[in-house]
Amino acid sequence: MSHAPSSLPTPVPPSPTGSLRSFAVTAFGGTARVPGDKSISHRALMLGALAVGETEIEGLLEGDDVRHTAGAMVALGATVEPGTDGGPWRVRGAGVGGLTEPDRVLDMGNSGTAARLLIGVVASHPITCFFTGDASLNRRPMARVTAPLERMGASFVGRAGGRLPLAVIGTDHPVPIEYRLPVASAQVKSAILLAGLNTPGTTTVIETHPTRDHGELMLRHFGARVTTEILVGGALAVSVTGQPELTGCRVRVPADPSSAAFPAVAALLHPGAALTLTAVGVNPRRTGLYQTLQEMGADLRFENPRIEAGEPVADLQIRGSMLRGVDVPPERAPSMIDEYPVLAMAAACAEGTTRMFGLAELRVKESDRLAMVAHGLAACGVAVETGPESLFVHGTGHPPRGGGFIATAMDHRIAMSFLVLGTVSAEPVTIDDGSFIETSFPGFVDLMNRLGARIETVSEAGP
């Protein structure tokens, strides 16, 4: 049933597709399913590799980011059989503590999630691994992960800030810790909990603001003992009991709410639009954008709610709406950190000013997203103000002029956000390179165009 490890396709960096240009359209809508949730896809592959027996994963995101994770799990001793014609992927795991030292560098491509989580996984194994990524990933900080993992006994050799390329020297005597997150980060939380799987005793992460809990839900789905306790003051203590036997299981990955945000916002900005996005993950720690859009006046509803593999899922019904500016509080940031760029596009078309606070984390994503959004909106005729952790977008109640040429800095969310803006702006919006969209949303342009957008390749990029 399982292929040999060497059968897994090796991810390669996407080749530039050239510049993409988005034109205004008069109609947008229909029914679609966006690709599987990236956060859940990464975790399903990793826990499948740490489980005993076979894990079947339906709806796995098949973008480059996730394929890099799959390749890394094969290098660490798991067997992975890719799905065919959209069918389920199958993973045969090595068991907790059973990963083996890879004979090659683990290339994580563009994925900070994959890199940080997998560093946690291997930190409590007595093996040495070398991590690298593309130019964007190698600029992103890893010290926030390596600092707590050093307390558990692992060692690291890397560039300033713990940046990749990074050598991880796992420990054969991991020590459980209690760690309070200095900055809200689901990636850091998951990395510590994953390291705690192969650590005797109880490993605990304390978070002041709740972050995505996909890791906790997935761990429980595979049979780990994970508890969550509300502390005095409202902080959460999330604990995992080490050295369980995880059991291979069936995982159905919901459609990614972060990916759904792009067609959803496009529909909201088109008067008369009606769009249905099916089987979208609606984990309450991921729906901050949709709450904010509803506060702005969006006609957006969750229909047919259900639970799949421990995750809440629903169909999103979106209709074109007149939006108004609102204040987005800083405590909402963990539930929508990836969606601020596309929210800014909605804000540019809303009536009044939308003020977003608590955005420091945007400075250290695939790019400095706060600066990229501000510069891009300004180039499209939108009045904006930025602070160290804030973004104010002054909307006029109408789509902006557009016409900007957007340098994306290899950031897929910046690219998709401005292509959404181009579907309503008076002049087309052009991005310098759309190739990195495929890392998280394969088929984005085709899906958007099927729904009514007009996004075209430009043979020569340039202002």
Q: Catalytic site residues?
A: 338
Containing H/E element for 455?
Answer: strand 454-458
412 phi and psi angles, rounded to 5 deg: -65, -35
DSSP 115-163: HHHHHHHHHTSS-EEEEE--TTGGGS--HHHHHHHHHTT-EEEESGGGP
CB atoms closer than 10 angstroms to residue 80: 26
At what angle are helices 38-50 and 112-123 packed, to 10 degrees? Answer: 20
Helix, strand, coil: what percent of the chain each, to 5? 35, 25, 40
At what angle are helices 214-222 and 38-50 packed, to 10 degrees? Answer: 30
Say if residues 443 and 16 touch (Cβ distance below 8 Å): no
Burial 113-137 (b: 16+ CB within 10 A, else e): bbbbbbbbbbbbbbbebbbebbebb
- The stretches of 253-297 forming alpha helices (DSSP H) are 257-268, 288-295
At what angle are helices 412-422 and 257-268 packed, to 10 degrees? Answer: 20
Residue found by looking up tokens 């069918």 in the block:
87
Say if residues 254 and 35 touch (Cβ distance below 8 Å): no
Residue 223 backbone class (left: φ over 0; alpha: ψ -120 to 50; beta: rest): left
Give 36's DSSP letter: B
The set of residues, in sequence order, having a beta carbon less than 8 Å from that of 208 and lying 6+ positions away, is 180, 181, 184, 234, 235
Which among 106, 54, 75 is positioned nearest to 6, based on CA atoms? Answer: 75
Say if residues 325 and 350 touch (Cβ distance below 8 Å): yes
At what angle are helices 38-50 and 186-197 packed, to 10 degrees? Answer: 10
Distance CA 282, CA 254 (A): 9
Structure tokens, 266: 């496009």
Distance CA 219, CA 193 (A): 9
SS3 53: coil
Distance CA 191, CA 187 (A): 6
